[in-house]
Structure 1
Amino acid sequence: MAEYFDSLETRAPAEREAALLAALSRQVAHAQSHAPYFAEVLREVDPRALTSREALAALPVTRKSELTARQRTMPPLGGLNATPLGGLRHVFQSPGPINEPDGHSADWWRTARAMFAAGFRAGDLVYNTFSYHFTPAGMMMEAGAHRIGCCVFPAGVGQTESQVQALASLRPSAYAGTPSFLKLLLERGEEMGTPCASLSKALVSGEACPPPLRAWLQDHGITARQMYGTADLGLIAFETDGGDGWVVDEGVLVEIVEPGGTKPMPEGETGEVVVTVLGNGDYPLIRFGTGDLSAIVTDSSHRASPCGRTNIRLKGWLGRADQTTKVKGMFVHPGQVADVVRRHPEVRAARLVVTGSVGADTMTLHCDATHDDEGLARAIGESMREVLRLRGEVRFVSAGSLPQDGKVIEDARDYS
């Protein structure tokens, strides 16, 4: 059985760096010529001069948090797309709202590499529980699975009992989805007397997979590997067998910069993950700030992973550079909380508190309001469902009791 997805994963670091910088020059030239937004922000840049990481670091950072406003001005993609809508396959929408495209090339989000590292092989039946509507997660996994030669069952989310029955009849070997939903399916299968015994491998994403959950899955015969990616960028990094960190994808240039800034951080120090996608002519994102925090594993640019892959590695997801928080696999933005509050003039101030553990999290909107009653609580809850696309609780607090620390979202979950 092949150990690596392709020869790119084991090439010499110097060879990789030279190839990435050459691709960077081509990508910037393409973006300047075809994407209105980049034609403006990179108008003074000479692509031929981008021959080093230092030259890359001089370019402006476009942050994910800026996309909603840009896309309102120039719908639907803010002028960041280099391919007109007629040349794209889909446009999706994630909470924010943020619109994301999908092109016609095979494995457009490059997820096959992470799936291969997780043990997926041609002929496997992949049980895909990511959503196929609004957000692109379901299609992201499906495209990667097809690139490897897998067959996919598009399960989507919800309908737990029906999903347990489908697992029993289909007997898939591989799972794609959040780790918490996989645990829920296994537990429900045991309760129903229909254990999901065929699954042996999983590629999980959308939320953290803490060590206790990973061990629980392993005890149930499933080896889970994590994938780090976004709807905008596709695959960024992925876990491997015996790896010390998440191996960066071969199709991106990853930097760790000062949160909210543009200056690269020293190797090993925590900062914001900034990504340049190479080879994607449809949506050529250059120095795109994810808002996620991570760090480069020290000396990983000179020391191969124990799995043999030679690319740099990230220490994993270490939090958010802003207050944006992921709840049940969906991003919740401070601006969305403000939208909820604006719908109810009775609310003077509010703070969204996320508690519980990853995958079993609960959102509670703490409201300082002119009055508190069941009718107002119900109306605010309905607004939360409409704006955040998630259910949450409403709790009224005494006047002036909310902390005056500028936080709109507080992540108080247990990550142990």
Structure 2
Amino acid sequence: MIYEDIETASRDEIRAVQNERLRETVRNAYENVDYYREELDEAGVSPEDIETVDDIHKLPFTTKEDFRAEYPDGLFAVDDEEIRRIHASSGTTGKPKIVSYTEKDLDVWSDAVARSLAAGGVEPGDTVQNAYGYGLFTGGLGLHYGVEKLGATVIPIGGGGTQRQVEMLQDLESDAISCTPSYALYLAETAEEMGVDVKDLPLSTVIFGAEPCTEPMREEIEERLDVNGIDIYGLSEIVGPGVSNECHEAQDGLHLWEDRFYPEVVDPETGEPLPEGEEGELVLTTLSKEALPVLRYRTGDLTTLNYEECECGRTMVRMDNVTGRADDLLIVRGVNLYPSEIEDVVLEFDEVAPYYRIDLDRENNLDTIEVTVELVDDFDGDVDELHDRILTRLENVLSFTPDVLTLAEYGTIERTEVGKVQRVFDHR
């Protein structure tokens, strides 16, 4: 379902919209945000220097450190009386990143989420069980108002209470549920423990986001719940959920709504732009935000961009599923490693469950790494033989061999009902 005509517009039409909105955004930031005025002046750039998106490289980057340095409202571009809502990032360290919205911002956000849900296969009249947390986190209310804008019914159940979630899926016959990918798997586990066959329910779609999801994990979600697993992407600093979304027709990358958010991919080390199709760090510029215009925000998320028209008919650029972050990079004995690389390998094996953890330590000034993986619940094979096969595969694919590989019984690794799952524990 195409929600708005701009989704299938020509590249020239999209570019014209981007050019106009970028000029307005830069002017808004320069005239109303002291931080940006100082940064642009220092860079010798004025709003008049930004005529098209081809000029965007002249603008300085914005980082999460800038948000924290300007805490709480140093990046706001409007007066308090114009603000209708404030959210904050989940910030695990230091001050959270505070974000604000005008009435128009909230309308734009709701439209972006509605567009995302429609692309994911949710239709007006469907019932969506929203299992994201409500509160300062943008996921809960962001999805909530998008569902309503689409003309669907929202069940604002929030995170946790998993047995109740299963009961609501049964009793209210929800068509879709929105949650993190790790929670979708926990939901499947809980349903099995309750004796409920989720595959018998009307549930057809899981809209998952807020944490990386590799293809093996998506396949596990789709198999265990008998659904389409649709990836939604967003971040508080830009707007919240609804920056991009997979279409259910192709599930081949996330359509990034580039009439609202202009994307670039840069080298994580140098900040230099990378050509189409090359993996790097996603950089986003808001094109419609009034209360909080953001210029060239370094998301830290690693992805690629694909401008080919999708089989669904949408012409909006597609970003690859984010499976890692530039700041998730682990350096072990001088070797670069992303946790997603380990996940990709271990989840190749049908004998293991999609639960793992990575423990980093240091012994006698030498880095060590231990990988713990759960066996499936009904495993009845030879543990030693499976251990050797997984270890050999890790040795062949990765640049080093884990010091310890542990195959644990099903249910050993801690689950989470609320929030993002933690996979890496660095004890160094």
1:82 equivalenced with 2:82 (yes/no): no
Whether 2:188 is the aligned partner of 1:186: answer yes
Shift of 1:117: 0.6
Q: Which amino acid aligns with 1:89?
A: R
Matched, 1:222 2:227: yes
| Mapped partners of 1:211, 1:321: distance in 2 | 19
Counterpart code for 1:258: D
- In structure 1, the residue matched to 2:284 is 275
Structure 2 equivalent of residue 293 of structure 1 = 302
In 2, Cα distance between the equivalents of 1:36 and 1:173? 46
For 1:33 and 1:368, how far apart are their aligned partners in 2?
54
Deviation string, structure 1 residues 265-320 (Cα, Å, up to 9, x no partner): 112212211101111111101111101111222xx2xx311111112222221522
C-alpha displacement of 1:83: 2.3
Report the AA paired with residue 26 of structure 1: E
| 1:33-54 residue CA offsets vs partner (Å, 9 max, x unmatched) | 2222222212343323323333
The 3-state SS of whatever aligns with 1:199 is coil
Partners of 1:286 and 1:394 lie apart in 2 by: 33
Separation (CA, whole Å) in 1 of partners of 2:26 and 2:151: 33
The residue number in structure 1 matching 2:263 is: 254
Q: In structure 2, give the amino acid aligned to 1:322.
A: D
CA deviations over 1:333-356 (Å, ceiling 9, x no partner): x9xxxxxxxxxxxxxxxxxx9787
Query: After the TM superposition, which residues 3-14 of structure 1 pair with which residues of structure 2 at under 5 Å, given as runs?
Result: 3-14=1-12
Deviation at 1:19, TM superposition (A): 1.3
Instruction: Identify the residue that residue 39 of structure 1 maps to in structure 2.
Output: 37
Please state whether the residue corresponding to 2:233 is helix, strand or coil: strand
Task: List gaps (5 residues or longer) in structure 1.
Answer: 326-333, 335-352, 370-387, 397-401, 403-416
Distance 1:256 1:389 in 2: 25
Q: Give the one of 188, 197, 204 matched to 1:195.
A: 197
Is the 8 Å Cα contact of residues 86 and 136 (structure 2) preserved in structure 1? Answer: no
From 236, 244, 256, the counterpart of 2:243: 236
1:145 matched residue in structure 2: 147
- Report if aligned partners of 1:273, 1:294 keep a CA contact under 8 Å in 2: yes
CA distance in 2, matches of 1:368, 1:221: 45
SS in 1 for 2:168: helix
SS across alignment from 1:31? helix
Write the distance in 1 (CA, Å) between the matches of 2:305 and 2:139. Answer: 26
**Superposition RMSD on alpha carbons, in Å?**
3.2
For the 8 Å contact 1:120–1:174, the answer to whether it is kept is yes
2:125 partner amino acid: G
Under a length normalisation based on structure 2, what TM-score does the superposition of the two structures give? Answer: 0.72
**TM-superposed deviation, 1:146:** 1.6
Identify the residue that residue 22 of structure 2 maps to in structure 1.
24
Tell me which residue corresponds to 1:322. 327
Matched length: 345
Question: Letter of the aligned partner of 2:118 in structure 1?
Answer: F
Question: Which of 292, 302, 311 in structure 1 is aligned with 2:316?
Answer: 311
- 3-state secondary structure, aligned to 2:232: strand
Distance in 1 (CA, whole Å) between partners of 2:127 and 2:426 is 44
> Counterpart of 1:117?
119
Separation in 2, partners of 1:21, 1:15: 10
Unaligned runs of 5+ in 2: 332-337, 348-353, 365-418
